[in-house]
Amino acid sequence: MDAASPASPSSSSPPPPSPTARASAVSPMTTISRHYFGGDSSSDDHDFYIDIIENMQEDYGMFVWPCSIVLAEYVWQQRLRFANNTVIELGAGTSLPGLVAAKVGANVILTDNAAREEVLKNMRQICKLNKVNCNILGLTWGQWDAPIFDLHPQIVLGADVFYDTTDFDDLFATVTFLLQNSPGSVFITAYHNRSGHHLIEFLMVKWGLKCSKLLDGFSIMPPCKGASLQGNIQLVEIALDDQKTKS
Ligand SMILES: C[S@@+](CC[C@H](N)C(=O)[O-])C[C@H]1O[C@@H](n2cnc3c(N)ncnc32)[C@H](O)[C@@H]1O
Residue nearest to atom 17 of ligand 1 (CA): 113
| Residue 215 DSSP SS3 | strand
The DSSP H or E segment spanning 198 is helix 198-206
User: Per-residue pLDDT for 22 more than 60?
Assistant: no
Q: In what order do the strands lie in the sheet with 233-240?
A: 135-138, 107-112, 86-90, 155-159, 186-192, 233-240, 209-216
Residue 20 is assigned to a structural domain of this protein = no
Q: How far is ligand 1, taken at its centre, from the CA of residue 62, in Å?
A: 9
Least confident of 5-14, 17-26, 116-125, 185-194: 17-26
Which tens digit of pLDDT belongs to each residue from 174-213? 999 999 999 999 999 999 987 667 889 899 999 999 998 8
The total number of structural domains in the chain stands at 1
Residue 50 is assigned to a structural domain of this protein = no
Kindly report the average pLDDT of the chain as a whole number.
87
For ligand 1, what atom is nearest to the CA of residue 170? Answer: 19
The DSSP H or E segment spanning 202 is helix 198-206
Which tens digit of pLDDT belongs to each residue from 40-92? 655 556 799 999 999 877 677 789 999 999 999 999 999 999 999 999 999 99
Rounded to whole angstroms, the Cα distance separating 94 from 75 reads 16
**Closest listed residue to residue 92, CA positions, set 38, 133, 135:** 135
Residue 166 is assigned to a structural domain of this protein = yes
Which of 33, 68, 160, 178 has most ligand 1 atoms within 8 Å of CB, for mutation?
Answer: 160
Residue 91 is assigned to a structural domain of this protein = yes
Which tens digit of pLDDT belongs to each residue from 164-173? 999 999 999 9
Beta bridge pairs of residue 150: none
Q: How far is ligand 1, taken at its centre, from the CA of residue 94, in Å?
A: 9
- 243: confidence class by pLDDT, cuts 50, 70, 90: confident
Q: What is the CATH number of the domain that holds 104?
A: 3.40.50.150
Q: How far is ligand 1, taken at its centre, from the CA of residue 30, in Å?
A: 19
Q: How far is ligand 1, taken at its centre, from the CA of residue 51, in Å?
A: 19
Residue 38 is assigned to a structural domain of this protein = no
Tell me if 37 sits within 8 A of 103, measured CB to CB.
yes
**Containing structural domain, residue 128:** 61-246
What residues does ligand 1 touch, defined as CB less than 6 Å away? 60-61, 64-65, 67-68, 91-94, 112-113, 116, 119, 140-141, 159-161, 163, 167, 170
Tell me if 230 sits within 8 A of 4, measured CB to CB.
yes
Q: In what order do the strands lie in the sheet with 24-27?
A: 24-27, 30-37, 48-55
**In the chain, pLDDT over 90 holds for what percent of residues?**
67
Residue 54 is assigned to a structural domain of this protein = no
Which of 52, 54, 60 has most ligand 1 atoms within 8 Å of CB, for mutation?
Answer: 60
Beta bridge pairs of residue 86: 107
